[in-house]
């Protein structure tokens, strides 16, 4: 990583810059890969599918160039509710006006959803590279090569990369070759920027991550977080957030016995926010009901899910 105290040579003749979309079905490791590339926590990560709901840009600037990685929601076949349809729209919209698409799949696992995403990509006029993630889970590499040849049919893709986003294996090689594939251009963003998203957005995401980590079954998909207050005063950041749920009966689950769940969420969220902001944080959480918000287009826009 470059020393930001020294100016970067950014003449368009030797500096590359472009947009790269990370796409794939839910839970293949798109957010983990982007966090690994950036060297910091940006996209929230849980073991639950569809953790990522909105497009988020991660900006990596070096002496050689600037790559704007677009983390997208997982493209999925079952999109019955308005929120799911929104996520599919956002993911597909991210395929346009980019210089390269990285399609992520899991090593030794090819599903109908993977094939669906691949067919979706076949209609766009952008190079598509295949990124086979989680190779650390397949110790027999001959089995992996057979899987790629017979099930994935890798000849459909521009390039193929094998890596482990979690452990970092193969990520540096991917970054190097991605940068080489981008056009010569001046940077789109200042060199000290790492995302195009606001602090309010990142705060809401970090709180939602803690909720998803602690709540089970379908409840994490029935909630969202809205930042109502975000103010700085005398070395302190005051944040007030509403946790919206869909049913009155879900309220006691989110709060927990004696408020223990909400207290744990608040404590861990505050720590994550202080690490992100580098400042002391005072966090207050409320739980409110917005009936069936995830299947209501008007409510989605109110909570920031806007095309």
Average pLDDT for residues 185-212, to the nearest whole number? Answer: 96
Dump the DSSP string for 18-76. EEEEEE-STTSSHHHHHHHHHTS--S---SSTT---S-EEEEEE-SSEEEEEEE-PPP-
Average pLDDT for residues 21-44, to the nearest whole number? Answer: 95
- What pLDDT sits at residue 76? 82
Residue 1 has pLDDT above 90, yes or no: no
pLDDT band per the 50, 70, 90 thresholds, residue 96: confident
46 within domain boundaries: yes
Domain count, the chain: 2
Within this chain, do residues 126 and 209 fall inside the same structural domain, yes or no? no
Average pLDDT for residues 172-189, to the nearest whole number? Answer: 97
Supply the pTM of this predicted model.
0.91
Q: Which domain holds residue 49?
A: 16-180
Within this chain, do residues 75 and 21 fall inside the same structural domain, yes or no? yes
Residue 133 has pLDDT above 60, yes or no: yes
The alpha-helical segments, DSSP class H, found in 75-192 are 82-93, 112-121, 141-147, 171-180
Within this chain, do residues 107 and 249 fall inside the same structural domain, yes or no? no
């Amino acid at each position: 990583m470059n020393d930001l105290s020294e100016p970067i040579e950014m003449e368009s003749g030797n500096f590359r810059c472009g947009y790269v979309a990370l796409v794939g079905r839910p839970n293949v490791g798109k957010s983990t890969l982007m966090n690994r590339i950036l060297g910091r926590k940006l996209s929230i990560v849980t073991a639950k599918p569809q953790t990522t709901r909105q497009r988020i840009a991660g900006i990596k600037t070096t002496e050689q160039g600037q790559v704007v990685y677009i983390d997208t929601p997982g493209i999925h076949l079952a999109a019955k509710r308005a929120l799911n349809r929104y996520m599919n729209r956002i993911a597909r919209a991210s395929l346009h006006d980019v210089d390269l698409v990285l399609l992520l799949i899991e090593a030794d696992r090819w599903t109908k959803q993977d094939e669906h995403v691949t067919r979706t990509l076949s209609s766009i006029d952008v190079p598509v590279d295949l990124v086979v993630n989680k190779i650390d889970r397949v110790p027999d590499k001959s089995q992996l090569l057979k899987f790629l040849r017979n099930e994935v049919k890798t000849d459909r893709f521009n390039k193929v990369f094998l890596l482990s986003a979690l452990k970092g294996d193969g990520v540096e090689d991917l970054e190097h070759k991605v940068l080489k594939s981008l056009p010569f251009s001046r940077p789109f963003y200042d060199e000290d920027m790492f995302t195009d998203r606001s602090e309010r957005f990142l705060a809401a995401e970090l709180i939602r991550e803690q909720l998803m980590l602690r709540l089970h079954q379908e409840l994490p998909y029935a909630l969202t977080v809205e930042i109502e207050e975000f103010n700085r005063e005398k070395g302190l950041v005051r944040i007030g957030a509403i946790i919206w749920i869909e049913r009155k009966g879900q309220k006691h689950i989110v709060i927990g016995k004696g408020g223990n769940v909400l207290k744990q969420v608040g404590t861990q969220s505050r720590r994550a926010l202080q690490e992100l902001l580098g400042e002391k944080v005072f966090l207050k959480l409320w739980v409110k009901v917005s009936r069936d918000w995830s299947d209501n287009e008007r409510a989605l826009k109110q909570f920031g899910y806007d095309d």
